[in-house]
Amino acid sequence: MTSDTALAAARPAGRRERARARWRAARLRLDAYPRLRVAYKVGVALVGVLVIVVGLVLVPLPGPGWLIVFVGVAVLGTEFPAAHRVTQAVRRLARRALLRWRAWRASRAAARA
């Protein structure tokens, strides 16, 4: 294997993979500075809580209030394990609901045919 081929094999292929690789590299640089890491974590916490509060204010109004709340929890989940577990649980519930809805639609279509 030539060096060019090795580099091409080691390089992430798609746009998403390249973005994730850049993100991992930035996080490794951030971890080298403990005070900056704490400041980053506080900033993520503030942004996440702010998004959750905005979502809760919008819940009684027409619009995507709960969706915004879950986005805030997902933002918190990038730094806090408990919020990440909540995000994963909500994703599982949403996936299960989507699968049930699709099965219901398929059964209705089969009953009509």
pLDDT reported for residue 54: 94
CA torsion sign for 46, 52, 57, 62 is: positive
pLDDT of 1 over the 70 cut: no
Q: State mean pLDDT over 9-13.
A: 62
Enumerate the domain spans of the chain.
33-112
pLDDT of 8 over the 60 cut: no
Tokens for 82, please give them. 């408990």
Cα–Cα dist 105/64, whole Å: 24
pLDDT digits (tens, 9 = 90+) for 44-59: 999 999 999 999 999 9
Enumerate residues 6+ apart whose C-beta is below 8 A from 78.
Answer: 44, 84
Q: How much is the mean pLDDT over the chain?
A: 88
Cα–Cα dist 92/94, whole Å: 5
pLDDT reported for residue 5: 54
pLDDT reported for residue 3: 52
Are 62 and 72 within 8 A, CB to CB? no
pLDDT of 10 over the 90 cut: no
Q: State mean pLDDT over 73-90.
A: 92
Q: State mean pLDDT over 66-70.
A: 92
Percentage of the chain surpassing pLDDT 90? 60
Alpha-carbon separation of residue 101 from 41, 54, 95, 113 (angstroms): 38, 29, 10, 19
Name residue, tokens 């398929």.
106
